[in-house]
Amino acid sequence: MDIDHLYGKDLLKDSVLTRGSGGRVQRHELGAHNELSGTVHGATVQAGVVYGGVHIASEANLAGQTPWQLPPAGHMVDRSPELEALERHRARALREGRPILTAVSGLGGVGKTALALRWLHALRPHFPGGQLYGELGAQAAGGPTIPADVLGRFLRALGVPPQQVPSTLAERTAMYRSLTAGRRLVVLLDDAATAAQVRPLLPGIGNVAAVTSRSRLPGLTVDGCYPVHLESLAPEAAVELLDHTLSDGRVAAQPDEARTLVDLCAGLPLAVRVAGALLAARPQRRITTMVRSLAEEHDRLEALAIDGDHDVRAALDLSYRSLSPPAARLYRLLGLHPGPEFGTPVAAAALADKQSATELLETLHDASLLVDAGEERYRFHDLVRLHAATMAQEDESPEDRTRAARRIADHYLVSATRAEGIIDPQHRTMARDYGPGPLASARVGDDAETALDWLEQELPNLMAVIHQARSAGFPTIGWQLADALWPLFLRRKFYDDWRAAHEEGLAAATELGDTAAECRMLTSGGVGELGSGNHRRALEMFERAARLFSHRGDRLGQARTLNYQGLALQRLGQPSEAAELFRLAATELPACGDPRAGALARLNLADIALTTGQPEEAVRQGGVVRVELRNAGDTYNAARADTLLGLAYLALGRPDEAEAHFTSALTTLRNVTANYEIARAVEGLAEVAEQRGDTRAAQDHYHEAKALYSSVGRSRQAENTQSALRRLQTDPDETES
């Protein structure tokens, strides 16, 4: 019966009610200072004016049991840094009197719950008040669990009789926080959907709450939550997890195969465990068999499944289905991206919608489907990339997939072509064939150095597009993108990529029957072969291009190959034959309308003069060429002429003039990070210092030149500078690093 029916509302004013033995309610008057007029036993409530029904329940009834609800903690590897960070957060929160709240986020199957359980179980001696576990069902088919339902279960676990559990969320939250205040318990809120779902379930002060979610829940971070985001396991830890799952010695017997297997699982703990469980069920099967079954990308997700239990694809499907339709579409289309990482312009190109790309990328990142790669760039976890590509196959039409892939490829082509024009305006850019658009260009910078940096950063993506172009149905992208990369390859000497790009570009041009494109791939690719030391291969490519130009009746193109063939012959130790071709090119090229290329042929003649012991002739030729190239706006090759002049003046024993030319060359070259050419000029300054007897300056320059040569794979030149350093050592016991 309600108290007000027993006493009347007015009689409850300035009173304390108690429930004595047998459940009998007693009323006690308060004195002038709110002191009880008599001894009180049992539960009490002080009332000013009470309206409505009042129920009295004893503390023993409301909190008469200690729940221990956490599931067991399984085996876990490689999470010591995260556990230590959680403990530091707990200690700091205790010192500062703040709530102890953390949120563990990450991809499905990455081990969020395992980490939270390991941490919370270890806290049991410090939190004897119990353990509460709430499954919040963010990925459940019926939708996330309602907080009021979770609170109802929590209150009953804490001893509240079912009939005394309040009906509203607000009342349940208030009772829950009252019962948990100071109790010293831990709460795990597993698989949360939103911060709003979590907030009513946070216990009172003095307790620990851990939240797991595939989303990052930034709203909780605003509330003072400590965020922990889990990535995949390192290879060594993934192998350890595989070994623990098998527990039969196969990992120790086949270490290389085990490493390959966990690499195919991309370090995702769920995938490693599934692969291990499948192998454990077949004790006679070698790890190599599982490696073969996972090697084909299009079957990998299906292979990483145990019927009715753990399934990597099912885990990713849950995250995918929780996305909004626009975010799900971007996820699918990014699955068509061939490279390792991407930024907002790529997303805008895939969607053909610049406005929404940034927001949707953040949505995918918050859902742990994208990894932050820094500088507003993202990447997929390998298995997520396969899943996104699978979703594109299943949920996008072939026409839409082709259009999106072409927009992505065109994005890289238009951006690389723009960078090419900034770096090397003199380069004869051939026509570009773009798709129907719209075209989305990246911000490649406004100067040569920034544009080169952009090309270098994007090189893995650019190479992936080149390799994909023919099979994707747009072979022109293959050779045109290789052509756009010319200034990067020329200045920063990525010889392996140089060769691969031009081999693929040549195959595409040949497939198209585009002779002009074939010639460009042969000449540009041949220059790369020269730089990497494949002089005979380079000469063959130049001669093939010359035949194609002749067949087309292209006199200018044929004249340009004279210069290239001369370079190959010079490297092959045939300076006389090379000089003859350079002289012919120096005459033919201006006559065909390309005086700049003619100046480069004379620069090559000057180099031959220098290497054959004619420094005066090198100075004469080089001085004229330097002026011509500067007048043509070709500052890069004018700087190369400065370096040659410096070397010629060194040979003539005129270090002051040599130093002036080397310094002039470096003023230009350092702005475009042309490491090989910078190294030549710096090595020249070292020789100047050595001629002057300045050993310390010479050593400093040789050290820099050695590092620069090494950075572009010029081992012979690096060893030459090392020899010079050994010669200059003043302390015989000192060794060079």
- Does 208 fall in a domain? yes
Amino acid at 351: L
Q: Are residues 8 and 128 part of one domain? A: no
Q: Is 270 left (phi over 0), alpha (psi -120 to 50) or beta?
A: alpha
Q: Are residues 187 and 130 part of one domain? A: yes
Residues of the chain with pLDDT under 50: 1-63, 731-737
- Does 325 fall in a domain? no
Q: Are residues 217 and 102 part of one domain? A: yes
C-alpha span between 545 and 553 (Å, rounded) = 12
CB 686 within 8 A of CB 705: yes
- Does 403 fall in a domain? no
C-alpha span between 611 and 569 (Å, rounded) = 14
Residue ending a domain, choose from 313, 328, 363: 313
> Is 493 strand, coil or helix?
coil
- What's the confidence (pLDDT) of residue 735? 38
Q: Are residues 249 and 217 part of one domain? A: no
- CATH number for the domain spanning 595: value is 1.25.40.10
| Beta-carbon contacts of residue 302 (< 8 Å; ≥ 6 apart) | 313
- Does 357 fall in a domain? no
Q: Are residues 543 and 455 part of one domain? A: yes
- Does 524 fall in a domain? yes
CB 246 within 8 A of CB 276: yes
Spatial CA neighbour of 647 closest among 678, 611, 694: 611
C-alpha span between 269 and 155 (Å, rounded) = 34
- What's the confidence (pLDDT) of residue 31? 43
- What's the confidence (pLDDT) of residue 319? 92
> Is 47 strand, coil or helix?
strand
- Does 386 fall in a domain? no
C-alpha span between 507 and 501 (Å, rounded) = 10
Query: What pTM, to 2 d.p., does this model score?
Result: 0.76
- Does 209 fall in a domain? yes
> Is 371 strand, coil or helix?
strand
| Beta-carbon contacts of residue 513 (< 8 Å; ≥ 6 apart) | none
CB 289 within 8 A of CB 253: no
- What's the confidence (pLDDT) of residue 33? 40
Reported as a single tens digit per residue, the pLDDT across 434-456 is 999 789 899 999 999 999 999 99
Q: Are residues 497 and 427 part of one domain? A: yes
Q: Are residues 463 and 526 part of one domain? A: yes
Q: Which residues constitute the domain of residue 50?
A: 3-56
- What's the confidence (pLDDT) of residue 392? 97
- CATH number for the domain spanning 212: value is 3.40.50.300
How many distinct structural domains can be found in the chain? 5
Spatial CA neighbour of 218 closest among 361, 19, 362: 362
Tokens of 320: 């995918």
- What's the confidence (pLDDT) of residue 27? 47
- What's the confidence (pLDDT) of residue 32? 41
Q: What is the 3-state secondary structure (H, E, C) of 607-654?
A: HHHHHCCCHHHHHHHHHHHHHHHHHCCCHHHHHHHHHHHHHHHHHCCC
Residue ending a domain, choose from 230, 248, 270: 230
Q: Are residues 624 and 483 part of one domain? A: yes
Spatial CA neighbour of 413 closest among 524, 335, 501, 326: 501
Residue ending a domain, choose from 297, 313, 329: 313
Q: For residues 628, 631, 635 and 639, what is the CA-based torsion angle, rounded to 10 degrees?
A: 40
Q: Are residues 442 and 423 part of one domain? A: yes
Q: Are residues 87 and 24 part of one domain? A: no
Reported as a single tens digit per residue, the pLDDT across 88-115 is 999 999 888 888 999 999 999 999 999 9
Q: Are residues 613 and 467 part of one domain? A: yes
Q: Are residues 37 and 12 part of one domain? A: yes
560-563 long-range contacts (CB < 8 A, ≥24 apart) are: 560/523, 560/585, 560/589, 560/594, 560/597, 561/523, 562/588, 562/601, 563/589, 563/597, 563/600, 563/601, 563/604
- Does 605 fall in a domain? yes
Strand segments (E) across 444-544: none
